[in-house]
Structure 1
Amino acid sequence: MVRADHTRNFFSFWVFGLCNNFAYVMMLSAAQDILTKNENQTATKDDEHVDHCLNSTSTRFCNEMSTGIVLICNILPCFVIKILSPLFIHRIPYGVRVYFQIILIVISLFIIAFSNNVAIALFGVTITSFASGLGENSFLALASHFPQYSIGAWCSGTGAAGVTGSFAYAVMTDPRLLDFSPKTTMLVSNIVPLMFAFTYWKILVHPDTVQKVSMSKPKSWISLRNENDGDENSNGDHSMKEKISIMKSLLKYTIPIAFVYFAEYFINQGLVELSVFDCDSGFGTSPKSQYRWYQVLYQIGVFISRSSNQLIQLSLGIIVILPILQMANVFVFLVNALHPFLGNFAIACGFVFFEGLIGGASYVNSFAHIHKNVDESVREFALGTCSLADSLGIVIAAFTAIPVHNAICKSAYL
């Protein structure tokens, strides 16, 4: 490829990462707003005390429902599609997948914007999750058709999605800033799927190994052979026994990723909402605002580390240490939720930022190692399959966060 094509493709994969994860991140930032969506008279009543900073934190502040519920809806469909997709997804051309994903994102944003109760809003979140899982699996596999820089660009873009998604939601909904309603914020976000479509069909330089798709020609919607090349034993065409063997060889990458993601999402959706600060130590922010800014700081950390792969590559020995560091963060926030000792909101944000650095480093370096070290004949399958690991960790975190949240809220506050 000429240099101009490299630039276009690097930019394209960066945008793919951004657009793929933007709505997913926004759902997590909006979790507390989603759980208080016009629940008859109770939402108005609740909003009266969560929209302002707390004068005192002498008693434990707990939401009736853990934001882990939103995390379950935001990850379970993603997890399911990642499990099932290796069985059939190689028969669906990338263009069809992208088209379907964009439609799902638009539908989900409109459902959440116009929903008037929690159940409908959570249904919208599940659609977002399905779209995100389909996209991550597809674009990591698509990267096997491009040089290794595509992995770095994708990872950096997903990190940018975290920053822009969480920051945009925090800024637009903060009463002291733009003060948009959650509904308006969701509707404005529909610019993202438009960027997605334009980048895939107008900017990306498609290699000959990727099947061309015309939405006006249904016959092009199904690939009769694997897109990577003409070999019978290539990527998606491996036997089940061979696929299981490949998965076993990836355990040195997938196990650390799963543990890191379990720890960080257990913190983000189970523990940080219990680290609430009063007006003086929380810079005048409400519990809801504190939760949103936690998400922003976490995503900034993720973005920095996911964008660092061109400068710093971690060895496998360091990658396997990252879960230990992340579990140390779990310990900090668990103890603080039970017996508050972090004296200021800024200190808690510092730990959240560090948590994001660890999570982003684990993700980008693991996939970079796979792209570099796995044989080209199985690279597409390996990259797509390995994306299952982070989702597995998040699913376990989601189901763990809810009972832990409830137990802490019922415990004595010291």
Structure 2
Amino acid sequence: MLKWSSLTAEKKSLLRLGASFFLFGLINNVLYVIILSAALDLVPPSTPKGIIAFCNIAPALAAKIGWPYLLKGKIQYARRVIGCCLLSFVGMLVVALYESLYARLLGICLASFSSGLGELTFLQLSTTYSPPSVGGHSVGYFASGTGGAGLVGAFLWWEVRGWGVRTGVGISSVLPFILPLTYYLLLPRPATFLHPGMSRTYSTATVPEAIEEEGDGVETSRLLGTEPSGAATSRLEKSVSLSATDKWRLVKPMLMKYMLPLFCVYTFEYTINQGVAPTLLYPVPDPSRYWLLSKIIHSVRDYYPLWQLVYQASVFLSRSSISFGLPPIPERLLPAPAFVQLGILFVLVIESALGIFSEDREGRSFALVFLLIGIEGICGGLAYVNVFYRINQEEPDRSTVHNLEQAKQEREFRIGSIGFADSSGILLASLLAVPTELELCKTQVSRGKTLCKGL
């Protein structure tokens, strides 16, 4: 009876943990997706949509560089969560209340900084949970939430865009308050999973120190089932921070293994989304020839949000692969999604510039674009969840196991440092997207296809 009760409690804790990290991923990223999906509505038609992408990622990149690489010491998770909530709320209000281009770009920058810091924070938070199966559970559901954010954000803007920017964005500005509510009311603390009833793959000596509650001392030895000596307690309580040398030692082996594949995937992916997709336009479908398609596309402006919806749906499925119970892809195949993305980019550029099928066969063109954007989203999602899952599962450096606080900070830094790769890839893509969109539109106009000029 006791064993069954304990097992039930464990399952409930895992369910709460998964739900918490899913909500963290969903809410933290949903505003980012709404802004990308609303790009056509936030700026004048003559403004390249790549500018939105740039302002939506550059501040996030600054947060992902500033916090793990430049700041030192313990992470105050509660303060970060509250800060991210307030920044997102203010940023979206600015976008909703002001119509000038520069004010909206400022609001987007605030929301972007919050999103970048939030993603970094929640991924680092996942490393405070042991054993590794629990930490992987956290990452899997967080990635699923970020994928769900893409689907929810794109669909939400599809539904509310008719209400205008002020109302649609204004309504979305209240969503960030779900983050602190989840953190304080739903999220189980790491100590919940540190008990003899749960199996471990790490030895006691390598279990990361539990997350600190602000204002409370960390009783690491009590959680691990041992009583410390006075010297050990002093060592645990001593302030620890990673030096620049420590951080370079941790980053160096991850450059080719994790960072380069993630950088390439996101460079190709967002070049497609922001530079090529806005030019993948076709005439409004004739109901007599394309009955179903005509129910979805009512104007040329509907194509871009639809491509975003297809992309985000496929991202959700692939980012949820770990939480669905599918095995992670082999480590040697982590670069594969980048090569597939490059091929998709090439084909879609040809389709936009020259047209693979004749103009009277737009149904085939639509089907091709639909398929390729779906594959694009699957590749991007698989790259994201598998890279962060594998980093979360890496064992601590054996040279630091005597200092649990240092081991904890190293695990937090490892997973936090990777965000630089995907965000810098998105930033580069936003710079490439502006001339790409303009040149593709010019090429279309030169062959008599002027739809891109009417957006």
Gaps of 5+ in 2: 1-8, 192-209, 219-232, 287-292, 398-406, 449-455
* Aligned amino acid, residue 358 of structure 1: C
Does residue 1:406 correspond to 2:419, yes or no? no
Structure 2: how far apart are the matches of 1:232 and 1:366?
Answer: 31
Structure 2: how far apart are the matches of 1:91 and 1:331?
Answer: 45
Structure 2: how far apart are the matches of 1:192 and 1:235?
Answer: 36
Matches of residues 342-381 of structure 1 in structure 2 within 5 Å? Answer: 343-344=362-363, 345-375=366-396, 377=407, 378-381=410-413
SS of the equivalent of 1:66 reads coil
Structure 2: how far apart are the matches of 1:316 and 1:133?
Answer: 26
Q: How far apart are residue 316 of structure 1 and its match?
A: 1.5
Deviation track 1:203-239 (CA, whole Å, cap 9, x = no partner) reads 111235223237xxxxx9xx9xxxxx99779998222
Aligned partner of 1:240 in structure 2 is 244
Contact kept in structure 1, 2:72 and 2:241, CA below 8 Å:
no
Contact kept in structure 2, 1:235 and 1:380, CA below 8 Å:
no
Q: How far apart are residue 17 of structure 1 and its match?
A: 0.3
Structure 2: how far apart are the matches of 1:323 and 1:65?
Answer: 29
Matches of residues 41-52 of structure 1 in structure 2 within 5 Å? Answer: none
Does residue 1:19 correspond to 2:52, yes or no? no
Aligned partner of 1:42 in structure 2 is none
Aligned partner of 1:82 in structure 2 is 64
Gaps of 5+ in 1: 37-62, 174-178, 215-219, 224-228
Contact kept in structure 2, 1:167 and 1:296, CA below 8 Å:
yes
Does residue 1:279 correspond to 2:284, yes or no? yes
Aligned partner of 2:152 in structure 1 is 164
RMSD between superposed Cα atoms in Å: 2.4
Higher mean Cα deviation, 105-114 or 236-245?
236-245
* Aligned amino acid, residue 150 of structure 1: S
Deviation track 1:315-360 (CA, whole Å, cap 9, x = no partner) reads 1222111100000111011111211226333431221111100000
Deviation track 1:179-223 (CA, whole Å, cap 9, x = no partner) reads 322221112213421222211111111235223237xxxxx9xx9
SS of the equivalent of 1:2 reads helix
SS of the equivalent of 2:190 reads coil
Higher mean Cα deviation, 5-14 or 255-264?
5-14
Q: Larger radius of gyration, structure 1 or 2?
A: 2
Aligned partner of 2:49 in structure 1 is 67
Aligned partner of 1:192 in structure 2 is 175
Deviation track 1:298-324 (CA, whole Å, cap 9, x = no partner) reads 011110001011213101222111100
Contact kept in structure 2, 1:236 and 1:381, CA below 8 Å:
no
Aligned partner of 1:250 in structure 2 is 254
Among 305, 308, 311, the residue aligned to 1:298: 311
Deviation track 1:247-287 (CA, whole Å, cap 9, x = no partner) reads 11112111101100001100000001011010127634323
Q: How far apart are residue 65 of structure 1 and its match?
A: 2.3
Deviation track 1:122-151 (CA, whole Å, cap 9, x = no partner) reads 111101110011001111111001222000
* Aligned amino acid, residue 396 of structure 1: L
Among 422, 439, 442, the residue aligned to 1:390: 422
Contact kept in structure 2, 1:78 and 1:129, CA below 8 Å:
yes
Q: How far apart are residue 410 of structure 1 and its match?
A: 3.0
* Aligned amino acid, residue 329 of structure 1: I
Structure 1: how far apart are the matches of 2:393 and 2:350?
Answer: 40
Aligned partner of 2:328 in structure 1 is 313
Contact kept in structure 2, 1:301 and 1:357, CA below 8 Å:
yes
Q: How far apart are residue 64 of structure 1 and its match?
A: 2.2
Structure 1: how far apart are the matches of 2:235 and 2:419?
Answer: 24
Higher mean Cα deviation, 342-351 or 187-196?
342-351
Q: How far apart are residue 92 of structure 1 and its match?
A: 4.3
Higher mean Cα deviation, 254-263 or 317-326?
317-326
SS of the equivalent of 2:163 reads coil
Aligned partner of 2:269 in structure 1 is 264
Structure 2: how far apart are the matches of 1:331 and 1:233?
Answer: 55
Structure 1: how far apart are the matches of 2:156 and 2:311?
Answer: 14
* Shift in alpha-carbon separation, 1:245–1:285, aligned structure 2, 3 A: farther
* Shift in alpha-carbon separation, 1:234–1:323, aligned structure 2, 3 A: farther
Q: How far apart are residue 407 of structure 1 and its match?
A: 2.5
Contact kept in structure 1, 2:60 and 2:114, CA below 8 Å:
yes
SS of the equivalent of 2:284 reads coil
* Aligned amino acid, residue 83 of structure 1: I
Matches of residues 112-131 of structure 1 in structure 2 within 5 Å? Answer: 112-131=95-114
Aligned partner of 1:324 in structure 2 is 339
Deviation track 1:103-140 (CA, whole Å, cap 9, x = no partner) reads 01111111111111211111111011100110011111
Among 122, 137, 145, the residue aligned to 1:139: 122
Q: TM-score, normalised by structure 2?
A: 0.77
Structure 1: how far apart are the matches of 2:380 and 2:234?
Answer: 37
* Shift in alpha-carbon separation, 1:255–1:230, aligned structure 2, 3 A: farther
* Shift in alpha-carbon separation, 1:271–1:203, aligned structure 2, 3 A: same
Structure 2: how far apart are the matches of 1:336 and 1:236?
Answer: 55
